[in-house]
A and B are shown apart, each in its own frame.
Chain A
Amino acid sequence: MVKLKIDNIEVEVAEGTSILDAARKVQVNIPTLCKHPDVDPSAGCGMCIVKVGGRIMRSCCTPAAEGMEVVTNDEELKDIRKTVLKLILSNHPNDCLGCSRNSQCELQDMTAELGIDQNEIIRLVSQEPKDDTTGAIVLDPAKCIICGRCVNICQNVQNVWALSYLRRGFATKITGANDTKLADSPCIKCGQCAAHCPTGAITDHDNTQKVAALLNNKENITVVQIAPAVRVALGEEFGFPFGSNLTGKIYAALRRLGFAKVFDTNFGADLTIIEEATEFVHRFTKNDNLPMFTSCCPAWVDYVEKYYPENLVNFSSCKSPHQMVGAIAKTYWAEKAGVDAAKVKVVSVMPCTAKKWEIGRDETMNSSGYKDVDEVITTRELAKMIKAAGIDFKNLKEEEADNPLGEYSGAATIFGVTGGVMTAALRTAYFYITGEELGKLNFEEIEGLNAVKVAEIDIKGTKVRIAVVNGVGNVAPVMEAINQAKAEGKEPPYHFVEVMACPGGCIAGGGQPRVMGAMFDKPWGINDEIRKLRSKGLNTEDTEAQNRLSHKNESIKKLYKDYLGEAGGEKAHHLLHTKYRARDLYKK
């Protein structure tokens, strides 16, 4: 521990703590635009300067030391910060009112806090075009302040290396290698760049207008589904505490927006488990291409297709839950409801930007004979639609989902958090193998935010080795172990591997709210505390659920009995499974 004084206030912190973090402990917020709890300091923006013994240094990358006396906010520091901020603003467009980050922008907030007069700034804004080639995220160089958070996340946290710096000085631009468009780069559309961007430079590819058009066409029967992670995050946009589970209110809001039926992706999660557990039991007993990888996360799928094509055989062939719901809505449900499948339009509300890409991945995404899912909007976009419609979300009465695609188990709802898919699959796989139910339904070893979690599960004497990874940047050692064992002809280190591309899982996906404002503590944006609270929201729903097992979902049982036939059978395979192909890192 080291003791120091910050603005004459004594503070004791662990060795290695930055001055910036030490100051937060004594309620001193030093402004910063580039430092974020999820990334190492890069000393990029120059806003966090402080004085130590009269010398000016950056507090984000200077460790606190014994006896230090730090000044954070004298007239000279204020003056320099204002100059730095004016320089940043000098090539930032002044169109806050039309920006999707308006009122939720760190740059805007800091400009207000430091009291910069916008009119005294001469602007030289970048004329570089927007990059919306992925259809999932949009990168607008004009709004980029080159803080480097997204590059840091993309390279060092996610290990994707799609984003990078091009050129230097005033000409610097954040883009793909050699100015490659993102769609032609290794980008996996996880959207973690968008979740960490302090401004409106990287945002969702906005599909709210397209969804409005679907709803406005009265010929359509537009149905909607929400992913598990949406229910515990949307509330933040309306002043609810982190992790509040607002499923009933969201259903009500979706009905008011005009959706003909409100379904739940959790139904699809239960369906996924039936197919995936069946597949796992089959592959496990036949020792067929083990370990089996979960395939619910499209960014993870994209990552393996680009970085580990030799491991495509390891994937479960199951589609992700929302694709399953799309396929079932346009076949089974349309038939049952007696409506023309061509008129059924499916909208998915997802915590994820990669899902926008997934719906057009390949021809198996059109298994119903139509595009199985028509549009994807993120949790953030849904919040915008609710606000624009004048719905008083906070005071809405809770409603139920429409059946049969609305029923779900506790196992389904934990799909949104790291370890959840594995837990749900093991509950059902245990039943399939032994004919009995698991006594204890949770596996503590695979809960929580540790990057790689491993466990050995005893299924009546048979040991199943599992690994759970969250954050695709943490997957390399696991893949290495798997591929080395394979090369040496040894038994695989794991039988079943779950990967979610975003740290923490879908609850912290690239499309989740990034709220700011007086009611939230700084630093704003996603962090591990928020990840834990949102996870808790889903885990609580599971523990309190009457049914916590996918194979006991009555609507799913009926679906197989009336329509699909056998799990893993021909019809199920056609509608609910996909295939994978190697993709080049760069198209050029």
Chain B
Amino acid sequence: MDNDACLGCQTGDKWRRKRGSLIMALHEIQGVKGYVGWQDAMDLAKTMNIPLARVYEVLTFYNFFKLVAPGKAVISVCTGTACFLKGNDKVLERFKSELGIKEGESTPDGLFHLQVVRCVGCCGLAPVCVVNGRTYGRMTPEQVPVILNEWREAFKEEA
């Protein structure tokens, strides 16, 4: 692969002489792309002369790293104490079934990414979900398809 276009190669080249720097290199790739993909990991492993198995041991140990491109709309469902007690677990289940994905995953069409967070700092509105910075309070499972359609429409208009 052309070294100029290869993020994994460039990053690997920068870090390979420094021992114990795999995690820094991975941070850097995610910083640029938003995630570390299979090809990035392969290129990085080759350039840094680290087995791919070790690269993925690190990538999957830390929850911070994303392995696939996150969806355009990042849905954060709060499962902090207040939101959980107020029934956000049922809201989360509804998101999962509507989108057909689990937490930490993105939809194949690249539109939605679902994640679970612990407290977004507005427990008074519990249960709370946040989509791309927009907060939805007093959530119910029935609101889930409505919100998803809102965002789908918005993306359509954008396009």
Contacts and interface: CB of A to CB of B under 8 A. Distances in A.
Interface stretch (B22-30, B52-60, B111-119): B52-60
A296 B54 CA distance: 30
B67 interface: yes
B78 interface: no
Most buried by A among B38, B60, B67: B60
21 contacts: A155-B53, A161-B52, A161-B53, A161-B54, A163-B53, A164-B51, A164-B56, A165-B60, A165-B61, A166-B57, A167-B60, A177-B41, A177-B53, A177-B55, A177-B56, A178-B41, A178-B56, A178-B67, A586-B42, A586-B52, A588-B38
Contacts of B42: 586
Contact of B60 (A163, A168, A186): A168
Given A168-B60, A168-B61, A178-B67, A162 B53 contact: yes
A455 interface: no
Interface in B43-67: 51-57, 59-61, 67
Main DSSP-derived SS at the B contact region: helix
Interface in A540-588: 585-586, 588
A166 B67 CA distance: 13
Given A178-B67, A586-B52, A164 B57 contact: yes
Contacts of A268: none
A158 to B, nearest CB: 12
B84 to A, nearest CB: 19
Contacts of A185: 53
Nearest to B55: A177
B: interface residue count bin: 10 to 19
Contacts of B61: 165, 167-168
A176 interface: yes
A437 to B, nearest CB: 47
Nearest to A166: B60
Contacts of B41: 177-178
> Sorted from nearest, which 9 A-B pairs have the closest CB atoms?
A164-B53, A161-B51, A177-B56, A177-B53, A177-B52, A161-B53, A178-B56, A167-B60, A168-B61
A162 B54 CA distance: 10
Most buried by B among A162, A178, A588: A178
A475 to B, nearest CB: 16
A151 to B, nearest CB: 9
A551 B100 CA distance: 67
Interface string A125-168: 00000000000000000000000000000010000011111111
B115 to A, nearest CB: 16
A186 B54 CA distance: 13
Contacts of B56: 164, 166, 177-178
A415 to B, nearest CB: 31
Contacts of A585: 52
Interface in A274-310: none
Nearest to B45: A177
A176 B52 CA distance: 9
Contacts of B38: 178, 588
Contact of A155 (B51, B59, B60, B67): B51
Nearest to B59: A178
A161 B54 CA distance: 8
Nearest to A168: B61
Given A178-B38, A178-B41, A178-B67, A165 B52 contact: no
A469 B61 CA distance: 35
A168 B57 CA distance: 9
Nearest to A585: B52
A162 B52 CA distance: 9
A188 to B, nearest CB: 14
A507 to B, nearest CB: 28
Contacts of A161: 51-54
Nearest to A164: B53
Contact of A165 (B51, B57, B67): B57
A585 B51 CA distance: 10
A574 B51 CA distance: 38
B54 A164 contact: yes
Contacts of A186: 53
A163 B60 CA distance: 14
Contact of B53 (A167, A168, A176): A176
Contacts of B59: 178
Most buried by A among B38, B42, B52: B52
A585 B42 CA distance: 10
A177 B45 CA distance: 11
B1 to A, nearest CB: 15
Contacts of A165: 57, 60-61
Contacts of A167: 60-61
B38 to A, nearest CB: 6
Interface string A160-190: 0111111110000000111000000110000
Contacts of B55: 177
Nearest to B39: A588
Given A178-B67, A586-B42, 17 more contacts: A155-B51, A161-B51, A161-B52, A161-B54, A162-B53, A163-B53, A164-B56, A164-B57, A165-B57, A165-B60, A165-B61, A176-B53, A177-B53, A177-B55, A178-B52, A185-B53, A585-B52
